[in-house]
Amino acid sequence: MQNLELIEITNRLISMLQHLDVGIFYYQHDYGWNVRRRFSDSDIHISEKSRRTEYYDLHVVNCLGAAWLETLAANMPTICFDSRERHLFREGVQPYTDALTYVGILHDSVDSAAAKILEVQQLPQRWWLSDEVQDIRESFGCRYARMEDMWLDSWVEEFSNIASEVGDGGYLR
């Protein structure tokens, strides 16, 4: 999926949810895509709210990127819609993506994401804090988002291992 298509499907989602109090935030460097104008041309109002994620009840992201992982790790109610055609998941990831889809965190269509947003928008915490959602979020996060109390120690250990392998010529073979 190209950037223009991603902008178009995001426009479609926002159009479906315009009756809600929705803010759109996107990467600050536009790279010539004219994102703000494209939203405006679609009659989509871009709310000038804070970029601080803790101010919002529900986070919706349109790609499997850092923002998605960060809000999952921070335990903030998060819905992600992204086309499965854009990603080739390794076989080991499939049970996790299936589980995330099952509980309504991950969606492969705008329609599915919009339906879930409308379903949970009144009380997103009720959905998000359910045992089922939390178990799946934690399981995925521990494997793919480094969700652990001692994360700094883990990263120091990881970089130390890499440095010793590089020093031993392990990465030079």
The phi-psi region of residue 68 (left if phi > 0; otherwise alpha if psi is between -120 and 50; otherwise beta) is alpha
Overall number of domains in the chain: 1
110 within some domain: yes
156 within some domain: yes
172 within some domain: no
20 within some domain: yes
Q: For residue 32, count CB atoms less than 10 angstroms from its CB and return exposed for 0-12, middle for 13-18, buried for 19 or more.
A: exposed
Which residues span the domain enclosing 57?
3-167
Say what the pTM is.
0.75
| Cβ atoms within 10 Å, residue 1 | 14
Q: What is the pLDDT of residue 173?
A: 45
173 within some domain: no
CA dihedral 87, 70, 149, 96 (to 10 degrees): -30
74 within some domain: yes
Q: What is the pLDDT of residue 78?
A: 93
Q: What is the pLDDT of residue 12?
A: 86
Sheet holding 106-107, edge to edge: 59-61, 78-81, 106-107
| Spans of the chain below 50 pLDDT | 1, 50, 173
151 within some domain: yes
**In Å, what is the CA distance from 163 to each residue of 18, 90, 166, 169, 171?**
50, 27, 5, 10, 9
Q: What is the pLDDT of residue 104?
A: 97
Distance CA 69, CA 49 (A): 22
Q: What is the pLDDT of residue 126?
A: 96
